[in-house]
Amino acid sequence: MRFNKKKFIYLISPVKIYKSFYVDLIKVLKQKKVSFFQLRIKKESLTNKIKIGKKVKKICKKFNVKFLVNDDVYLAKKLNAEGCHLGQKDMNISEARKLIGNKIIGITCHNSFKLVKTALRNKADYLALGAFNYSKTKRVRYKASIDFLKEVKKITKTPIVVIGGINSDNYKKLLLNKANFLAISGYIWNNKKLKPLEAIKKLK
């Protein structure tokens, strides 16, 4: 995974795809700050997920953004996505590799060294750590600290994606402490004060 300093955002889709989402997505990706886009929609039918996935993948391709699917390796394979993200309760890496081959596979490691070491042993392409802040998108069950991030950086060169309530007020601290990518969702899509384009412009 090549690391582009300017493209430090790992963008996660809104939970529900709203009417003007595709237009907003184009505006956001045009800013050239996003490296990855993760499709994370739980409550849609498979038919809808495929339909949405195809549209999003096309937009991502246009802006040279890697398109990943959350949780569902079968959907990732069906959409020929560039990879998938696996939580601790999802399929294990070796099974996922058998299905999608040499694609990007990222693993949620919360705030646990043990999970980090397992993911590294299984050759994960990136490690997702967090939550670093309170998040409205997901109930925070695991709290990670900057110290934990620093410790993980000492033992691996594998890219680190940090997650959890990241916004324009707290993002710089994470980048300064060498997080490779910032996973952001709510701040872009569910921001009460800013439209998606205005929100991403604040992340410089």
User: Sorting pLDDT into bands at 50, 70 and 90, what band is 2?
Assistant: low
Higher-confidence position of 4 and 65: 65
Residues 72-115: tens digit of each pLDDT: 999 999 999 999 999 999 999 999 999 999 999 999 999 999 99
> Torsions phi, psi of 56, nearest 5?
-65, -40
Sign of the Cα torsion 142, 75, 181, 16 reads negative
DSSP string, 67-135: EEEES-HHHHHHTT-SEEEE-TTS--HHHHHHHH-SSEEEEEEET-HHHHHHHHHTT-SEEEEE--S--
Q: Tell me: the pLDDT tens digits for 4-60?
A: 568 999 999 999 999 999 999 999 999 999 999 999 998 999 999 999 999 999 999
- Report how far residue 160's alpha carbon sits from residue 179's, in angstroms, rounded to the nearest whole number: 6
Phi, psi (degrees; rounded to nearest 5) at 122: -85, 10
Instruction: Please report where in the chains the tokens 């009460």 appear, as a residue.
Output: 192
What stretch of H or E contains 9? strand 9-12
**pTM (predicted TM-score):** 0.95
Going by CATH, does the domain composed of 9-201 fall within 3.20.20.70? yes
- pLDDT tens digit sequence for 138-147: 677 888 999 9
